[in-house]
């Protein structure tokens, strides 16, 4: 057996550094970056691999400023593009 590390949420800063924002469960995976809470924002979107639920994390100044559920779709639905903003 091997220990699986807990995923960490980080934000890219100045193209060369990252800031630690917290940890997430192993059942959540990256789904994209999208301007959900405001035009031009870079909000983190995650998807639960067991339920199909989406969650958005608002990030400003290297801090999580909010989180919200975006709903859920069936597990047979898959993301088809790398960009969620069109």
Every domain of the chain and the residues it spans: 8-72
pTM listed for this prediction? 0.67
Beta strands in 1-86 (DSSP E): 8-13, 17-23, 28-34, 43-48, 53-60, 63-72
Q: In whole numbers, what is the pLDDT of the chain averaged over residues?
A: 76
Residues of the chain under the 50 pLDDT cut = 1-4, 13
Predicted local distance difference test score (pLDDT) of residue 1: 42
Predicted local distance difference test score (pLDDT) of residue 19: 73
């Amino acid at each position: 057996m091997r220990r699986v590390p807990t995923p960490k949420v980080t934000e890219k800063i100045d193209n060369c550094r990252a800031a630690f924002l917290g940890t997430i469960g192993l059942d959540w995976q990256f789904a994209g970056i999208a301007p959900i809470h405001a035009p031009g924002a870079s909000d983190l979107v995650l998807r639960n691999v067991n339920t199909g639920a989406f969650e958005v994390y608002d990030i400003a100044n290297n801090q999580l400023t909010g989180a919200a559920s975006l709903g859920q779709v069936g597990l047979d639905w898959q993301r088809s593009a790398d960009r969620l903003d069109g």
